[in-house]
Every structure is written in structure tokens, then in C-alpha cells.
Amino acid sequence: MNQITPTPDVFENHESQVRSYSRQWPAVFDTAQGSWITDENGKRYLDFFAGAGALNYGHNHPVLKTALVDYIMRDGITHGLDMSTVAKRDFLATFTEKILAPRGLDYKVQFPGPTGTNTVEAALKLARKVTGRSSVINFTNAFHGMTLGALSVTGNSMKRAGAGIPLVHATPMPFDNYFGGATDDFQWMERVLDDSGSGINRPAAVIVETIQGEGGVNVARAEWLQALAELLKRRDILLIVDDVQMGVGRTGQFFSFEEAGIVPDIVTLSKSIGGYGMPMALTLIRPDLDVWGPGEHNGTFRGNNPAFVTSAAAIEHFWSDDTFEKEILAKGERIRAAFTDLAHRFEGVSTRGRGMVHGLVFADGDLAGKVTSMAYDQGLLAETSGPSDEVVKLLPPLTISEEDLDHGLSILRQATETVCS
């Protein structure tokens, strides 16, 4: 690319200690296509990580690539802040026509800055502004981002400690199945909301992931989500679904909450919404809640127009009918079957997931870490999640072929067999 001769330790010498993934996967990656990623030595890796959910359509999908290069070649506007552009209008029209309208959803679209944490911050700010309340309810093992507003509603204690100030204004409640069925759903939450002496500050909103990816692939049941939505509606508390990681088809349907039939008041999207892995985020707002003043929440990179182009192209290509959704569900079933088999065969191993996000749960983080480490040696990228990193978390591209999927699953099977035998 340029004439600099890279020293072998440029990352060690010049990049901050905060780097993380590069420690577990020490290869220097160079190119990528579909489900495969190639390092500078030409070694290929099957990618079951997919940009932590930002590459649902795989790496550098040819349809999107063509749209992107065409746009760049014709000098389409790259950076547009929140000016009106043709690319943005096309995106808005496509998103409305292909995604919202067919699902009977009516949302205003905010472009809040191109990251997940930024759309979460926008959602929380708006919920507080609308209700005049400062407090928010989040859930155990939630992950919503690293800026102070989003970090306040995130569970991980190591990441919270990084704030350097006490994180306040949020109260965690037990996520679905937190007690393994030993307790009625919402027993605690409903009680404290209705007890004027509970000491809980009445919340502006509840923010929830339908499936907690970082939290360990914890899947909320449809009936739990329905009960949550109903509970909040009766109490005039807003429901924010953070669909940053689980949206855009990861669970089969475009939005992860569709299966439950609920309609959140605010939805956050990022990661795969741009299609090609470029930064983009949306905040979807129930129209009557769109009380923002002009510029009240802003940011420089709200108008990443190349991402609007690839996003619109991806929606056109994948979401004009239900073919893609069916494929996802079928491939998800394949993963489920493979993991269920492993869970049956090995004591202390279990599985959970929905659509094409699945976790293989081990007794502890050591075992899970050994499995992903062995997988890496065999050319498979998969990460761990959960409070003790005890869950091998599978997020393959939704576009993966059945052959590649089976290949990756066989690597994980062998690793599990080795580690657990």
C-alpha cells in the first residue's frame, strides 16, 4: 500500500495496551471475502466472529462492493453530516419501504453518529427528555457501549470500572431466566415499580437486548419480552430495544423483536445496518416521541454516505422477500443441532441461541478459551463471551454456505471433544 517497511512489532511499540482481539488472534490480517479472512502470509481463516455482528452479509459482499465502488467512482458525496443527500434519501426510502412498512412499523429515523454506543446515548437522552425522568432500568449482563451514558447501563464490572467515576442513574433487573426458572418473571421488577416505598427512582425507560451477545448469548423468550412490553406500557415507561448486535437478520427476521410481536418505543441499530462493515447507526423513534430540537444531539459522522449506499443495496438484495430469512433460520437450525449434540455428549456443556447466534456454554472460561484457541489454530475465528468468558459465541456471516458452516462446526466439535474428554 505504501513504502513504509513495517517493523514486526509496530503494534506492540505504538498501539495502546487497550487492544484486545489482536492478542488472542495474533495474525496480521489482510484481505477478506465472504466468510473467509486471509492473513499477510496467505493463511485463510473461517470467520465465525463476523466483526462481532457487524458483518452479517459477510466480508466485502460483491453486490455491495459494486454499489460502493460505483458510488465512490462517480464522486458521490462521502461525508455529509446531516445534510440531505441523494444517497441518504435513497436509504431512507428503501428502509421505509422494504423494512418498516412491510412490518407495520412507523418510526422516525435518527442518524445519531455511526456507532452502537452513540445510538444508545441518543435513545437514553431522548427517553429522559420525553419523560422528564433521569433513571433507567437495564438488565443483568447487558452490554450497550463504552461512552458514559451507555456504560452506565452495561453490566460488566471491569468495563464499568474504566469509567473512573461512579456510574449512576441505572438500576439492573434480572434478565430472563436469571434464576433458572426458580422465580416468576418480573417478580422483583414489577413489585418495585409498583411499590412507592421501594426506593427505586421511577425510570424513564427500560433498555433491553432480546439476546445478550456480550453477556453470554442469553436469549429472552418471546413471552418474557411480551410481558415486559405489556408491563411497561401499563406504567408509561418507554421500552428501548437495543438491536445493535441482534438486529439486521441475526435471529432470522430483520429485527430480533419481531418474533415476540412487540413494538418498542425506540430501537437502536448499528453494526450490520451499513452492510459492508462501515460505521453507521440508526435510532428509530416512535413518531410522537420525536421531540428533539434541531441539532440537540449531533456529531460529525452522522452522514457516512458510502454506508448509506451499501446499506440500501443490502436491503434491496437481501430483504425484498423472505428468502434470506428462511435461509438464516435453516442454517441456524444446523448450528443448534450441532451444539445440542455436543451438549448431550459432554457433561457440563450446554447450548443456547436463536437464529444464527448460538453459544456453547462450558463450565468455565478456561475450557471455553481452550476451545477457541484450538479453533484458531485450526483456522477458525470464534470468540468467547459471558461474565466469565465461559461461552463460545457463534456469529457466522448469515450468508455462509452450508459447507463452510459444517466445516466450522466440525472444527468446534473436535476442539470440544479434545477439551472435554
Restricting to residues 162-191, which ones interact with a copy of itself according to CB under 8 A? 162-172, 174, 178-179, 182-184, 187-188, 191
In the bound complex, what is the minimum distance in angstroms from residue 252's beta carbon to a copy of itself? 21
* Rounded Cα gap, residues 412 and 375, in angstroms: 6
Contact code string over 142-161 relative to a copy of itself, x by CB under 8 A: x--xxxxxx-xxxxxxxxxx
Q: Which of 42, 73, 236, 421 binds a copy of itself (CB under 8 A)?
A: 73
Residue 230: how many CB atoms within 10 A of its CB? Answer: 13
Query: Whole-angstrom Cα distance, residue 116 to residue 262?
Result: 22
Instruction: Specify the residue for cell string 406500557.
Output: 233
x/- map, 206-245, a copy of itself, by CB under 8 A: ---------xx---------------------------x-
170 vs 416: CA distance, rounded Å: 38
Residue 108 found at the interface with a copy of itself (CB under 8 A): yes
Measured from the Cβ of residue 202, the count of other Cβ atoms closer than 10 Å reads 15
Q: How far is the CB of 285 from a copy of itself (least distance, A)?
A: 6
> 300-319: which residues touch a copy of itself (CB under 8 A)?
300-301, 304, 306, 309, 312-313, 316
Residues within window 117-136 making contact with a copy of itself, judged by CB under 8 A: 117-118, 121-122, 124-129, 132, 134-135
| Per-residue DSSP letter, 34 | B
* Amino acid residing at 14: H
What whole-number distance in Å separates Cα of residue 144 and Cα of residue 268? 10
Phi-psi region of 109 (alpha: psi -120 to 50; beta: other; left: phi over 0): beta
Ramachandran angles phi, psi of 373, nearest 5°: -70, -45
Q: Which is nearer to a copy of itself, 149 or 353 (CB)?
A: 149
Could you tell me where the beta strands, DSSP code E, fall in 342-381?
350-354, 357-361, 380-381
Residues within window 261-280 making contact with a copy of itself, judged by CB under 8 A? 270-271, 276-279
Q: Closest distance between a copy of itself and the C-beta of residue 123, in Å?
A: 11
Query: Minimal distance in Å, beta carbon 162 to a copy of itself?
Result: 4
> Out of 68, 231, 361, 398, which residue is the one contacting a copy of itself (CB under 8 A)?
68
Q: Assess 42 for contact with a copy of itself (CB under 8 A).
A: no
Q: Which of residues 342-401 bind a copy of itself (CB under 8 A)?
A: 386-388
Residue 84 binds a copy of itself, judged by CB under 8 A: yes
As a whole number of angstroms, the distance between CA 167 and CA 172 comes to 12
User: What is the C-alpha separation between 5 and 353, in angstroms, rounded?
Assistant: 45
